[in-house]
Amino acid sequence: MKKLTLWLLSFSASAQTGTFLVHPYLQHGTTTEMRILWETTAPASTMVRYGVPEWHTDTPRLDQMKKIEGFRTMHEVHLKGLEVESPYLYQVISVFPSGDTLKSEIRTFKTAVKEDQPFSFVVFSDSQSNPQVWKKISEGGWKERPDFGLHAGDLVGLGYLKDDWVSEFFAPSRIFMSRVPLFSVPGNHEHDAAYYYMYMSNPEPEYRYTFDYGNARYFMVDSNRPLHKGSEQYSWLEEQLALSKKTWNFVVHHHPPYSSEENDFGDTHVEQSLFGDPDLKDVVHLYEKYQVDMVFYGHIHTYERTWPIFQNRVNEEKGVIYINTGGAGGGLEKAAPYRVWFTQKVRTTHHFCYVTVNERQLNFQAIDENGQLFDQFTLKKGKVRMVQFPEPPAPVIITKERVFEKELNLKLRPVFEHLEIRYTVDGSEPTKRSSLYKDGIKLDQTLKLKIASFSGNLRSPIVEVDVVKEKACEPVAGPFQSGLNYTYFTSQRARRLPFDQYERKLEGRGVVSMLDPDEVPHRKEFYGVVFEGFLEVKEDGVYTFSGKADDKLRLWVQDKLLINEDREEINLEGQILLKSGHHPIKVEYFNERDWTFLELSIEGPGLSRQSISPFMLKRK
């Protein structure tokens, strides 16, 4: 799990004591593993006691223990080697430097079922900014006693505000989260912020992953990131769908491929509507190609179930069912004033979904915040799943670097061994006569590659890769001081303008210790800060910078623009070749509204991805 980098100066060990900031909760449960997390208000030790309950006893059996050395506020323990499909008792214990001991209540969890056993799960989405409703919804889900839960994003109102997580998400759902593992994907309201990755614990890279439960596979997708043909996530998703041998296949992401909502995709009271997010049209093709059973999503705060859809028509035999389940707390939205062709059931209400699976039969229920059932259906699986379209999946790109100084050896692999990979470097589309990939593509100049897999004369979607040859940047000589220089300005009060169309009325200059706009005295909104100075790196090599802001961010290193972000919902990335030493850095931040948010990370030789440390930042 990615960690927030917290810059704490020091603390008095004898004075440190505390309590739970976030009570223990469960993540990523499998047949033999469970992850248990909690957060304390002060640094403390980390230990979990657990065990399989005994028969005919009044004493909880906690005969096993997992401990992590050291003190921390965010605690995460991975229990491994558990018994399959078994109930467990657990208790977390943290000891503060003062000697005070904090113990949780004894709770239960159950490991995942065997592949041939029945199971159940609940589905939530859009719990943001409404802790009262989220409490009712999550406790309603718990009353069904599911094996696990799914959350399709927008867990909180603003993912970069810690209190949204602590008070509005975890506190209301404490009962559910302490008993049932929750698998989630980020929504647009998470803003791809570090708190999401701190609190949610999923397989890397965490924003997208798969997991199996019983005879089903779940494909967890970040629909904030690109999903068009040829994109990294599209290629990953197709590979995972192609490799699945499970009876049932479910996809979870935040945004709606189909929605009859009245005005999100065109105001249906006065104009035509797209009735769904156009950025997802390519993955609909994947869902149909690989016969996905159901797609769960939110974003639109309502309930809607479609007919089985195949090639934009109702098709009971081949169609995919889409479930909009955005009813866990967000302000409710309405359907169009007329019925749309794909809608089978629609309801404006807070709700969750409850699904049971037994071999080749699935039972589905939609339940409102008061526990009332308002939709249900049964699916019975027929013949074995067949691929509906013959084109092969695209190749997988292994090499991460996109910039190089002398030569780059780009590594690829096919999804299936029998597939050929062919490529071009002249901008043309690959054909059966194009260069055949064997063991890497050696590149020595800036160019665009186009790559595709072939099965006979059938071609996959084309993947485009831009590579850049550049000289490694030379460092700047000192002497240096700690910190960065800043310039603070205000602008006219106008929203959603391009960065350069905002006026810049100079209000002040100064020095800060870190890349944090809140270090600068500023007004509530419509202001900007420009940070300038130098960044120190210890080794030569390729460095990847990633980050985002609310609302606008630009990052230059050595006068190379690496990030240009304008109200995106994800971290953007840029790469540069740097030699060891100090390099000029410039960060432009602009805020249009109340909350301040800026995150920048660095990854490179000897550095796993981490926040840019104040110790790296210098000025003259």
Question: Residues 113-166: pLDDT tens digits?
Answer: 999 999 999 999 999 999 999 999 999 999 999 999 999 999 999 999 999 999
Per-residue model confidence (pLDDT) at position 4: 43
**Residue 26 pLDDT > 60:** yes
Of the candidates 589, 441, 566, 583, the one whose C-alpha atom is nearest the C-alpha of residue 495 is 566
**Residue 187 pLDDT > 70:** yes
Q: Between these two residues, 482 and 9, which has the higher pLDDT value?
A: 482
Residues 37-45 have a mean pLDDT of 98
Per-residue model confidence (pLDDT) at position 1: 47
**Residue 12 pLDDT > 60:** no
Residue 57: count of CB within 10 angstroms of its CB: 8
Q: How confident is the model at residue 571 (pLDDT cuts 50, 70, 90)?
A: confident
Separation CA 374–CA 371 (nearest Å): 9
Asked if 156 contacts 597 with a C-beta cutoff of 8 angstroms, the reply is no
Q: How confident is the model at residue 388 (pLDDT cuts 50, 70, 90)?
A: confident
Per-residue model confidence (pLDDT) at position 447: 97
Q: Which two three-digit tokens encode residue 534?
A: 């130098």
CA 11 to chain CA centroid, Å, is 33
Per-residue model confidence (pLDDT) at position 9: 33
Per-residue model confidence (pLDDT) at position 76: 99
**Residue 6 pLDDT > 50:** no
Per-residue model confidence (pLDDT) at position 387: 80
Q: How confident is the model at residue 389 (pLDDT cuts 50, 70, 90)?
A: confident
CA 581 to chain CA centroid, Å, is 34
Per-residue model confidence (pLDDT) at position 5: 40
Separation CA 345–CA 342 (nearest Å): 9
Per-residue model confidence (pLDDT) at position 17: 75
pLDDT, tens only, 308-327 = 999 999 999 999 999 999 99
Per-residue model confidence (pLDDT) at position 335: 97
**Residue 11 pLDDT > 80:** no
Separation CA 369–CA 329 (nearest Å): 10
In this structure, are strands 552-557 and 581-591 parallel, antiparallel, or unpaired?
antiparallel
- Mind listing the domains of the chain with CATH numbers? 13-110 (2.60.40.10), 119-380 (3.60.21.10), 396-469 (2.60.40), 481-619 (3.90.182.10)
Per-residue model confidence (pLDDT) at position 593: 83
Helices (H) and strands (E) in the chain, counts: 6, 43
Per-residue model confidence (pLDDT) at position 16: 60
Per-residue model confidence (pLDDT) at position 325: 99
Exposure on the CB side of residue 594, measured as CA atoms within 13 A: 3
pLDDT, tens only, 516-550 = 999 999 999 999 999 999 999 999 999 999 999 98
